[in-house]
Every structure is written in C-alpha cells, then in structure tokens.
C-alpha cells in the first residue's frame, strides 16, 4: 500500500458523524468531522455551503475594511476615465503621432485631440471609434 493510500485510510478512519456542537446546535445540520488526538479538527461541509460561508466571510471583511476607513477608495467611473486617458495617449504615442498630426489625420483641431485625451468620457462613441481606427487599435482598448 502506497503512502498516499495509507494516509487516506488513516484520515477516513478518523471521520466521525456526531451531533452538533453546543454553539451551533440550532444553526447547522449534522456534518461529519475529523477527529485527531480526541479533538475535532476539520468539518466535512457540502461545497455549496462552503461557498456561501466563503462569500459571507469575504463580505464581512470588505464591510470591516470600509468601516475602518484605512483604505483609499477610488470612484469606479473616475478610475475608468483615467485608464481611458492613459490608453488613448499610449496608443497615439505608440503610433508615433503628435496631437497635431493625429488631429490632421482625423480632420479635427489639435485642441480637440487634447480635450479627448483629458476627458474621453465627454467624447462621442463615434469620435472614439474614428480615433481607434486612425491609431489602428480596437475601440474597446479605450473603454
């Protein structure tokens, strides 16, 4: 018998089906658990119950972090706009174009290219598509 098979037999011999613990008598159903040295060490829980416990724990930690105020949170819309700004500027520079050159290619003034790079959220999708086509990138790269 291999080492792995031996461990499996040892663990399975430790699994016991018993009543609920005192603190959870009215909250949880009976689950098998592993006993080592006379003490329960692990509970065998169905996957769906385990996933709910994990999600609950994650939610509780997130709430605790928010309430503690230790983290700096960024508005999602502001963050998305900042990413778009970076991506548009990077795409223009990767194409080797100045704002003036890109404007000439699109038939719009350099000042509008500057505004688009600073505030892409105030730009129409049509203009963003034209910009993406001129820079030979997928418009989704900007969003």
Domain boundaries, the chain: 3-68, 76-141
Dump pLDDT digits (tens) for 55-106.
888 888 877 877 777 666 667 777 888 888 888 999 999 999 999 999 999 9
Asked if the 76-141 domain carries CATH number 1.10.260.40, the reply is yes
Dump pLDDT digits (tens) for 2-57.
444 444 444 444 444 444 444 444 444 577 888 888 888 888 888 888 888 888 88
Q: How many CA atoms lie within 13 A of 67 on its CB side?
A: 6
pTM of the predicted model as reported, rounded to 2 decimal places: 0.48
* Residues 99 and 117 sit within 8 Å (Cβ to Cβ): yes
Q: What is the dihedral of CA 18, 22, 25, 30, to 10 degrees?
A: -20
Q: 84: how many CB neighbours lie within 10 A of its CB? A: 20
pLDDT of residue 29: 56
């Amino acid at each position: 018998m291999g080492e792995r098979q031996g461990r499996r037999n040892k663990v399975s011999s430790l699994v016991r089906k018993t009543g609920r613990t005192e603190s959870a008598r009215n909250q949880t159903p009976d689950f098998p658990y592993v006993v080592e040295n006379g003490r329960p060490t692990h509970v065998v829980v169905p996957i769906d119950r385990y996933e709910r416990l994990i999600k609950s724990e994650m939610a509780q930690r997130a709430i605790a972090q928010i309430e503690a105020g230790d983290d700096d949170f960024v508005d999602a819309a502001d963050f998305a706009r900042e990413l778009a700004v970076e991506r548009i500027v990077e795409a223009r520079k990767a194409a080797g174009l100045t704002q003036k050159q890109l404007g000439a290619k699109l038939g719009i003034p350099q000042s509008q290219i500057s505004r688009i790079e600073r505030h892409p959220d105030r730009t129409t999708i049509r203009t963003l598509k034209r910009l993406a086509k001129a820079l030979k990138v997928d418009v989704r790269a900007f969003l």
